[in-house]
Amino acid sequence: MKIMDLMDKKAIIPQLTGKGKKEVLAELCQVVAAQEGLETAPLLEVLLEREKLGSTGIGEGIAIPHGKTTATDKLVVACGRSPQGVDFDSMDGKPTHLFFLLLAPENTAGAHLKALAKISRLLKDSDFRRKLLAASGADEIYQLIASKDDDF
């Protein structure tokens, strides 16, 4: 499974403007909704419900918000970056800077988990995270992800 098969360059937000969890999730949902021809509100609701179970802020400045929805019939990934950082109730209590959103169809347990694992492996590399944070924009972020996608 390749992240690049699930993410369009248009789904990368190099400068998130949201100051809180809900605002950042809404921004990420908006790009996915626009890309896939979906409504934003139901996607956001799915993610907020998932966040009630526990924060998807995994620490080290990373969050992988995810959820399942009937709105899409394929896995979809979006990426956002917040240079100033957002309080995302992360496990380490530190601000979150990198966000990888994953939405999956209701009936895809295996593929959903594989995609989450792949994203997590990509982001464990501290040098890769540093490069993502230093990237000049969406094109460079996209290229960095593409270059790393084959490693895992």
Q: Which residues are catalytic?
A: 66
Nearest residue to 64 (alpha-carbon basis) of 46, 77, 82: 77
Integer Cα distance of 133 and 59 in angstroms: 15
Which 3 state secondary structure label does DSSP give 95? coil
Integer Cα distance of 15 and 97 in angstroms: 10
